[in-house]
Amino acid sequence: MKKIFVALSMVALLAACSGEGGNSTNPSDDESATLSSADGQGSSSSEKNVTNSSSSRCEECNDDAISSSGNAESSSSEKLSESSSSSAGKAKSSSSVVTLANPCKTETEDNCEYGELNDDRDGQIYKTVKLDEQWWMAENLNYADSLTTPSLKGKSWCYDNYADYCAKYGRLYTWAAAVDSIALYDGGNGVDCGFWKRCELPARVQGICPSGWHLPTFDEWTALYEKFGGRSMAGRYLKSQKEWYDYEYRGKDAYGFNALPAGFREDDGYGKVRFDHLRNGTGFWSVTQPDTTSPFKMGAYMFELSDTHYSVSVVSSSKIAGVSIRCVKND
């Protein structure tokens, strides 16, 4: 059976966090999570050598500068000089009895409520799904125009630099790219909101999501997995029915969320970069940062699924990790 190590940071399982929601309410850091190395050795056989060349690779996939038409400008990728952050979080006790929403999808029938999101920036159309009165993207974001959106320059990738993986699994983004840090700090270079920085954000952040949509907060992610499976079983109901390597823990996709095992781009901050865990792991950025100024807790919360279990791991991940994005429709 293929196993996945907990990617990029220290892991804390979090059931929920207090407050009204939005970015202003973060989990407290009263209790520390179990530590694991961000530069640990993965067991996935899907690990690739990112320096290898191949005729099926595309130069544009690294997106040092990409326009909507797919034309690239020459530019060297940024060199990162810091190590990844460690995690923090507080697990909140929850009832042992989880009341699930009624499933709307089986292997033979699909009665979920779907819609479409037309991204007018590049014309891409994404499938969306209504989950507990809230519309979510049912596909990973695949927006790549770093000329229109400079925050993306050198900060988003196709897995292993293959264009076909972008079409299937969406792109992998750093957190600074996800929040569109340059736009947040208009007139600057976005350096105040990214790796090894903790920045103040508005309650709702569009980031690189299409107009009318926003990056999910910690509270929105927590409400999703609590309602659709509970902390320990959400993976069973949110993961896609196919693509996951380990058959034993394959998903039911009972609500149409269709979480695919898109993998990660791992970066230890000292030049060691690799793509890993395709088909046996995925993570989704939240806009929320740990409520602390400690230099060891300057990551951002990522919600992670694995093919070795059904539970959701909530990770304070390094902001330079390459992670998938799902957007939520504004109220």
Listing DSSP states for 168-229 in one string gives HH--EE-HHHHTTHHHHTTTS-STTSSTT------SS--TTSPTTEEPPPHHHHHHHHHHTT
pLDDT at 164 over 80: yes
Please, are residues 229 and 235 in contact by the beta-carbon 8 Å criterion? yes
- pLDDT tens-digit profile of 237-290? 999 999 999 889 989 999 999 999 999 999 998 999 999 999 999 999 999 999
Q: Which two tokens stand for residue 239?
A: 């993961």
Domain residue spans of the chain: 44-50+101-331
- Amino acid at residue number 177: A
Dist CA 296 CA 235 (whole Å):
29
Full 3-state SS string of 230-256 = CCCCHHHHHECCCCCCCHHHCCCCCCC
The predicted pLDDT at position 292 comes to 73
- pLDDT tens-digit profile of 66-82? 333 333 332 222 222 22
**pTM for the model:** 0.74
Dist CA 135 CA 330 (whole Å):
8
Dist CA 38 CA 85 (whole Å):
8
End-to-end CA distance of the chain: 42
